[in-house]
């Protein structure tokens, strides 16, 4: 009997020691995580207005062997971040910076100002609705880098999705307090490829991921999104003619000689498309009724990227112009700001001394590996998987116009649950909306260009608020 008691005592003692050891290890890991977060903490940027929410920026390694790391900038929600979802924003290009456009010119808390070395607070920042994460992807975009130059030669849709997924897994290990939060993705333009492909990667990996690496993905929302080569390109031409941008001759010439479903362009097709693009040398394709930057010191053209979607229209220099906003010269101010050494130090950026300046869109990327001509199969797959999907479109954008997006969504062949209806921002019509089967929602935003949050900040915040809350937009004035 005594030996039995002694054996029980040994077992209990071992259990207590093991428990104590586990608790010590947990405290050690917790301390390491907090220390790593604190190392990424951005105390205050040069020229930044004071704020109460916390922000973090830095690098997350996505390939140890290649020395590949992606740069992020994260803002806690302005109120009750512990109860708000987490939203990742991606800009497109491919090869354009989510920090230069998304954060500094569209929906982030801090916007670049003209003529003064100061930031201004964005009263319609999306971090009033969610914890907000910006990512510069793929490598060679913005501050993201690789130590293996051959990586640049194999960049493409699949490469970007894999690295972005690895980034998220590792970012959540650094910020585990957000693991239980609902997670959403949003973006614009070529993010019509990036966002669904990343969502698909998460969706597929979640089926076999460990509990530690499971990502609580609930849905995504993309704006003025490149989704389908055939309909996007046809929509661009139809939109330009319908908005009195091109002549009947150019319109009928493109319609006769250009077959956007094949990806091949005849000499006659190219001739008419050159006339089509000539118009956008004198007005802004990204926002038909906004002014152009006439005192431009830097070119808005970037190198052609071979192999991207859409196959035909991307062959022209005009496709590779960088977008502008209401102040069409704002990108010049951003490039000055993000190349300042004191700004980079505050953001923990450019720690490896990248041998080229920060730019809105990468000048390094000139080749693009496989890009599927249509993202619609992924959209169908993820709708069937129960993800919430909204697609929105600023209606003055000629680059990926509302016309093309309507053609694309019709191609899905979904039944309509709630047909074309106005939605309201207070007393004014904010745009129109249509709800399809599987609750795919399409929303137009009145008088907004390619970068909807730039042109319609109040309505874009209303949009993200209703998307995250899974609420239909108001159909009556309020």
- What b/e sequence results for 134-145 when a residue is b if at least 16 CB atoms lie within 10 Å of its CB, and e otherwise? bbbbbbbbbbbb
**Catalytic option among 397, 438, 460, 466:** 397
The candidate with the shortest Cα–Cα distance to 320, out of 289, 347, 280, 267, is: 280
The candidate with the shortest Cα–Cα distance to 433, out of 443, 446, 419, is: 443
Q: Which residue has the tokens 């694309």?
A: 408
Q: Helix and strand tally (H, E) in the chain?
A: 12, 15
Known catalytic membership, residue 65 = no
**Catalytic option among 164, 189, 362, 460:** 189
CA atoms within 13 A on the CB side of 77: 17
Contacts of 65 (CB under 8 A, 6+ apart): none
**Catalytic option among 193, 320, 360, 450:** 450
Q: Which residue has the tokens 């054996």?
A: 7
Known catalytic membership, residue 317 = no
Q: Using CA atoms, how far apart are residues 307 and 476, in angstroms rounded to an integer?
A: 45
Beta bridge partners, 394, equal 445
Q: Using CA atoms, how far apart are residues 188 and 89, in angstroms rounded to an integer?
A: 9
> CA-CA distances (angstroms) from residue 317 to 99, 320, 321, 369?
24, 5, 7, 19
Known catalytic membership, residue 450 = yes
- Give the N- to C-terminal CA distance of the chain in Å, as an integer: 80
Strands 68-75 and 55-63: antiparallel
Q: Using CA atoms, how far apart are residues 172 and 148, in angstroms rounded to an integer?
A: 25
Q: What is the dihedral of CA 289, 294, 298, 301, to 10 degrees?
A: 40
Burial label for 447, CB within 10 Å (0-12, 13-18, 19+), is middle
- What b/e sequence results for 371-404 when a residue is b if at least 16 CB atoms lie within 10 Å of its CB, and e otherwise? bebbbbebbeebbeeebbbbbbbbbbbbbbbbbb
> CA-CA distances (angstroms) from residue 259 to 27, 170, 307, 408?
63, 44, 18, 16
Residue numbers annotated as active site: 189, 397, 450
């Amino acid at each position: 009997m005594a030996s039995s008691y002694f054996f029980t005592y040994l077992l209990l003692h071992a259990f207590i020691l093991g428990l104590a050891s586990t608790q010590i290890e947990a405290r050690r890991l917790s301390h390491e995580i907090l220390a790593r977060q604190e190392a990424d903490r951005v105390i205050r940027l040069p020229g930044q207005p004071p704020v109460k929410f916390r922000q973090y920026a830095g690098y997350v390694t996505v390939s140890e062997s290649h020395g590949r790391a992606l740069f992020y900038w994260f803002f806690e929600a302005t109120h009750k971040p512990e109860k708000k979802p987490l939203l990742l924003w991606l800009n497109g290009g491919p090869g354009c910076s989510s920090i230069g456009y998304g954060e500094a010119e569209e929906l982030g808390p801090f916007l670049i100002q003209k003529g003064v070395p100061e930031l201004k607070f964005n009263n319609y920042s999306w971090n009033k609705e969610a914890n907000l994460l910006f990512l510069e992807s793929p490598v060679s975009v913005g501050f993201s880098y690789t130590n293996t130059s051959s990586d640049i030669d194999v960049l493409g849709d699949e490469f970007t999705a894999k690295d972005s997924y690895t980034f998220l897994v590792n970012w959540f290990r650094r910020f585990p307090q957000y693991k239980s939060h609902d997670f959403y993705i949003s973006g614009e333009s070529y993010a019509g490829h990036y966002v669904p492909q990343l969502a698909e990667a998460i969706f597929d990996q979640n089926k076999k991921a460990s509990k530690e690496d499971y990502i609580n993905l609930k849905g995504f929302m993309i704006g003025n999104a490149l989704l389908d080569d055939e309909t996007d390109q046809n929509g661009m031409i139809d939109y330009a003619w319908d908005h009195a941008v091109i002549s009947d001759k150019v319109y009928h010439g493109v319609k006769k000689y250009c077959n956007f479903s094949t990806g091949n362009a005849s000499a006659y097709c190219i001739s008419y498309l050159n006339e089509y693009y000539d118009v956008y040398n004198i007005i802004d394709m990204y926002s038909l009724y906004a002014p152009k930057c006439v005192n431009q010191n830097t070119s808005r053209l970037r190198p052609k990227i071979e192999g991207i979607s859409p196959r035909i229209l991307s062959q022209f220099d005009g496709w590779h112009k960088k977008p502008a906003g209401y102040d069409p010269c704002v990108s010049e101010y951003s490039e000055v700001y993000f190349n300042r050494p004191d700004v980079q130090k505050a953001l923990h950026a450019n720690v490896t001394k990248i041998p080229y300046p920060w730019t809105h869109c990468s000048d390094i990327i000139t080749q693009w590996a496989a890009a599927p001509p249509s993202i619609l199969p992924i959209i169908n797959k993820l709708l069937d998987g129960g993800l919430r999907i909204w697609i929105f479109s600023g209606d003055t954008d000629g680059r990926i116009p509302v016309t093309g997006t309507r053609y694309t969504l019709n191609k899905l062949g979904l039944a309509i649950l709630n047909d074309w209806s106005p939605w309201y921002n207070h007393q004014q019509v904010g745009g129109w909306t249509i709800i399809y089967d599987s609750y795919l929602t399409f929303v137009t935003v009145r008088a907004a260009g390619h970068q909807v949050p730039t042109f319609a900040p109040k309505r874009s915040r209303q949009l993200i608020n209703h998307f995250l809350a899974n609420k239909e937009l108001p159909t009556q004035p309020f």
